Structure 1
């Protein structure tokens, strides 16, 4: 396009010279000469204007030329601000995200088994990458130098008191009590000699054996009956007494009492034990092995469950219009809020990129992008100049001599 525009300028110059050399520049040839002269003026003026945007015309440091190389940073900032203010707005971004129907399109993508396999594989690779980057030494240092000192410095008994109160209020301890009482009943039934030995040790030596046996049998029946009653009745007085005791303990731990201070000291001593660090490392090692075997094992139960979950989600995303519309609205709102909050930072990629360019490089990139239209400006200037020159020549002929 630059060659065409320059060629028209050369053609106009050749026509102009030819008219003055080979004709008397009157009549029809006068119009041709005037048109060629004006075409040269228009072509040179527009060439200067276009060239001045990107460089100094003919290398001459004429004022107000090479505008883009000199003003590229200002141009980048202005363009960045323009985009942030006019495009990265919630009112602009949210409707676009909503109309894109992201949920339905994502659901269609997820329906393909190959895509589900790909997603599961990528999740496994991501997990393996994370686990590979977490060093056991870092976990030990974090536990020893950060977590344990933080826990020791924290006042724990109020939290423990709140936990005990919540457990009693929700009845979450009943299953544990059921388990303990049931096991105690089974053990007592399987070990009757324990009570016999206790009675034999506590009774006087002169006590007849049959008396001890009678007492042991009676005591065994009473104990087993009492344990069975506690086991079978959630409203048993022993259970109610346990609940009251736990609530009283919770109240004592919540205040600055001697039992609260002793409990705090015991907890601190336990936390300072070296075994705590080793236990954390053991748990971390077991967790890593569990995650690896569960997520990275192809064809395993976890993989099957994840694929089933993805399939269910994909079906709902594509078939449940209310669910999809609600999710699209949430995505659109979130995207709009992000654009509104971080629009300036997002748009700054424009100004930062342009600022990183060399001045000549920036001019060349922009000229390459819009150069074709700019050369059309030169072509139009040549043609329009020729037409204007012909019209002006016609007016001069109409003027009185």
Structure 2
């Protein structure tokens, strides 16, 4: 386009020279000469105007030329402010996002199996990256220097009391009681000699052996029967007594009592043990192995469950109109609020990017982007100049001139 515009200028100059050298400038040649002359003037004037935007014409540092290189930072700031003020507004952004129906579109994308695999894979890669970046020494330092001292300084007994109260009220401890009582019954059944030895040790030496055997047999049957009743009866008095004792203990732990003080002391002593730090590290190592194994096993249960969840969620995003509308509204409102609050910072990427450009680079980029239209200005200037020259010459030939 630049060559075309320059070519028209050269053509106008050649016509101007030819008419002045080889014609008498009368008749039609006068129109040609004046048209070509005005075309040159228009072309040169517009060439100067276009060139002055981006550089000094002919390298001459004429005032008010090379405007963009000199004013690029100001232009960047102005453009950034213009975008922030006129586009990054809550109502503008929110309205656009509501029309975009992002939830339905995201759901349709997520419904495809290959896209679900992409999401799961990317999430797994992100988790793997986080696991690799977490240093075991940092975990140990955090546990030793932050978590343990913080727990020691914290009043733990009331929390423990509330937790124990919730456990008892919800009956969450019943399975543990069932397990302990059941194991105790099995152990006593498999080890009858234990009670026999206790009876023989406690009985006086003068008591006949058959009496000890009778007592131990009776005692064993009674103990096994009682443990069996506790095991089989959910509302056994022993179980109820245990519940009452645990609730009473929970109340004492929640209050400032001697029991809560002793519990605090025991917990503090336990937390200060070196084994606590080692236990945390062992748990962390186990957790890392578990997570890494789940992440790497693309055909494993974890990946399968996640893909199933994504499939269900995508179906709801597409087919549940009320849910999709709520999500769209939340996204639009949140994005609008963010644009309103941080519009200047978001738009500053424009001014920051332009400020980082070299002045010459910025000028070349802008010229390259709009250069075609700029060269049309030169072409139009050449054509309009020629037309104006023809009109002016025609006016000078009027009879009254």
TM (norm. structure 1) is 0.87
160-169 or 44-53, larger mean C-alpha shift: 160-169
Q: How far off its partner does 1:162 sit?
A: 2.3
Instruction: Measure how far apart 1:390 and its partner are.
Output: 2.6
Of 369-378 and 338-347, the range deviating more from structure 2:
338-347
> How far is 1:152 from its partner?
2.0
Do structure 1's residue 130 and structure 2's residue 130 form an aligned pair? Answer: yes
Structure 1 alignment gaps of length 5 or more: none
Give the superposition deviation at 1:65.
1.4
Q: Corresponding residue for 2:85?
A: 85
Matches of residues 169-248 of structure 1 in structure 2 within 5 Å?
Answer: 169-207=169-207, 212-213=212-213, 215-248=215-248
| Corresponding residue for residue 348 of structure 1 | 348
Alpha-carbon distance in structure 1 between the residues aligned to 2:238 and 2:90: 63
Q: 2:372 corresponds to which residue?
A: 372
How far 1:66 sits from its partner (Å)? 1.1
Structure 1 residue 148 corresponds to structure 2 residue 142: no
Residue number in structure 2 paired with 1:274: 274
CA–CA distance in structure 2, aligned partners of residues 361 and 78 of structure 1: 19
Name the residue aligned to 1:304.
304
Deviation by residue 1:165-221 (Cα, 9 ceiling, x = unmatched):
222332322222232233333333444443444444444444555555555455445
Matched residue of 1:146: which SS?
helix
Equivalents in 2 of 1:158, 1:206: separation in Å?
A: 55
Residue 11 (structure 1) aligned with residue 11 (structure 2): yes
Aligned 8 A contact 2:128 2:295 in 1: no
Displacement of 1:298 in angstroms is: 4.3
CA offset digits 1:347-391 (Å, max 9, x no partner): 222111111111111101100110110111111112122222333
Which blocks of at least 5 consecutive residues in structure 2 are unaligned?
none
Moved more, 87-96 or 267-276: 87-96
**Local SS of the residue matching 1:49:** helix
> How far 1:117 moved relative to its partner?
4.0
1:299 is paired with a residue whose SS is coil
Contact 2:39-2:381 at 8 Å conserved across structures:
yes
Distance 1:276 1:399, change over 3 A: farther
Q: Secondary structure at the match of 1:239?
A: helix
C-alpha RMSD over aligned residues: 3.0
Question: How many residue pairs align between the two structures?
Answer: 401
After TM superposition, give the deviation of residue 77 of structure 1 in Å: 1.4
Name 1:286's counterpart in structure 2.
Answer: 286
Query: How far apart are the structure 2 equivalents of 1:157 and 1:177?
Result: 23
CA distance in 1, matches of 2:114, 2:12: 65
Indicate how the Cα distance of structure 1 residues 261 and 399 shifts in structure 2: closer, same or farther if over 3 A, else same: farther
CA–CA separation in structure 2 for the residues paired with 1:226 and 1:289:
45
Tell me how far apart the structure 2 counterparts of residues 332 and 101 of structure 1 sit (CA, whole Å): 10
Partner-residue secondary structure (3-state), 1:374: helix
Alignment match, 1:166: 166
Question: What is the distance in 1 between the residues matched to 2:398 and 2:171?
Answer: 111
User: How far off is 1:237 after superposition?
Assistant: 3.9
